[in-house]
Amino acid sequence: MKNAGTISILHVVFLTMTFIGLKNHVTVIPSILKSAGRDGWASVLLGAFVTFIWLFLIVYVHNKSNQEPIKDWLKQKIGKVGSSIVLYITAFYLLLLAAFTMRETLLWVSTTFLQKTPVVILLVIYAALIIFLATLGLQTIVIVNVFVLTGVVIFGFFVAFVNIKVKDYELLRPFFEHGLEPVLMGAVYPASGFVELLLLLFIHHQIQNRMRWYHFAIMLLILVGLTTGPLIGAITEFGPSEAAKQRYPAYEEWGLATIGRFIEHIDFFSIYQWLTGTFLRVSLILYICSDILNMSEDKKQIWTKLAPPFFFICLSLILLKDNVFLDINGKYFLISTFLFFIILSLFLSIVALASGKSSKKDKDKNDKKGGEEQSNQVKTQ
């Protein structure tokens, strides 16, 4: 297959830093702290190690599919009905993934700086902007991401260095105070973000060059840094017990940041980080959904067929009480995300393996048939 991709691997790395980085930098931190406490950093490393082994399944599928669109490749290998079932289930789960991200962001917005603004109004405005970006295509999403990511990275390093004066790294000790069980239980939460690297398979036909295993490894390493940074920061600034009680530890770290003696309350910078992260993450997920459902080239279909179910899923989540949503998200949805992407990757790997074996059998059969034809021609002569 001659690749006519429009984005480079570097763009993919930047995109990963935003759309998975938001989740691992913010969403999974409370669950890791509640599960593993001060040893949460070890859970991140364990989750990364397991994910690194799993990455070779993604590389295998990526190579076997020859960078064809996954929807077309599945249709060739398992038929129209089978591929439709898999793709529709995947698209539905991605809508849930986008809706949960949207709900959590709006929850944070409504509890921090827009307490008196109706959440439905925030949902309508923000969802409209996100869907509009999704209709513009992957190349536009990538370009927007490059611009906004610069500010996100600068502010991230800024708060990390500014808060050094209030960090106490002795709070990370003693190591493994409660044994290895909390570390093992907590590893699933960062891994639920790492496994979203699978989504790159759904856009790999738009990447200019074939991705290698070390490209995925670099992205995983960056995600590990994005997870351990705010996690260790929360532990060393607030202590493991206090950090575990906080709803958004990554945001609370901004509350400690000051510049000199007279400049403080600069936590408004975190608003830019979180809103742009959600903007890019949800837009990309919705774009992948539209591509899976063959809507990406038709803006009208995205607005009329994809936007309504996304909006109503978000609305149904908003109607849940805050504590109920946080319990569902932290205790169940993160784990279900990990399981869903693992199962999907195993299924795609089995399809790739089976298609490889059938192709080899067909080749051997054709070679044998060609040999018999040549032998008959010789006998005839």
Burial 254-280 (b: 16+ CB within 10 A, else e): bebbeeeeeeeebbebbbebbbbbbbb
Find the mean pLDDT for residues 16-31: 91
Class in CATH terms, 9-355: mainly alpha
The residue ranges of every structural domain in the chain are 9-355
The answer to whether 287 and 141 have CB atoms below 8 angstroms apart is yes
The residues near 150 (Cβ < 8 Å, ≥ 6 apart) are: none
Band (pLDDT 50/70/90 cuts) for residue 260 is: confident
pLDDT, residue 336, reads 95
Tens of pLDDT, residue by residue over 193-219, are 999 999 999 999 999 888 999 999 999
Band (pLDDT 50/70/90 cuts) for residue 166 is: confident
Find tokens 């929360």 and name the residue.
234
Q: Is the pLDDT reported for residue 2 higher than 50?
A: no
Band (pLDDT 50/70/90 cuts) for residue 358 is: low
Amino acid symbol at 28: V
Tens of pLDDT, residue by residue over 306-320, are 999 999 999 999 999
**Mean pLDDT across the chain, nearest whole number?**
88
Where is pLDDT greater, at 246 or 95?
Answer: 95
Q: Is the pLDDT reported for residue 369 higher than 60?
A: no
For the chain, the residue count is 381
Top-ranked range on mean pLDDT: pick from 107-111, 170-174, 345-349, 363-367: 345-349
Q: Whole-prediction pTM value?
A: 0.90
The residues near 274 (Cβ < 8 Å, ≥ 6 apart) are: 22, 26, 105, 108, 251
* Residue 247 burial (10 A CB sphere; 0-12, 13-18, 19+): middle
The residues near 57 (Cβ < 8 Å, ≥ 6 apart) are: 345, 346, 348, 349
pLDDT, residue 1, reads 45
Question: Could you give the C-alpha distances from 33 to 103, 185, 336, 378, in angstroms and in order?
Answer: 21, 11, 19, 76
The β-bridge partners of 263 are: 259
Question: Could you give the C-alpha distances from 267 to 104, 259, 270, 326, in angstroms and in order?
Answer: 18, 12, 6, 23
pLDDT, residue 330, reads 86
pLDDT, residue 220, reads 96
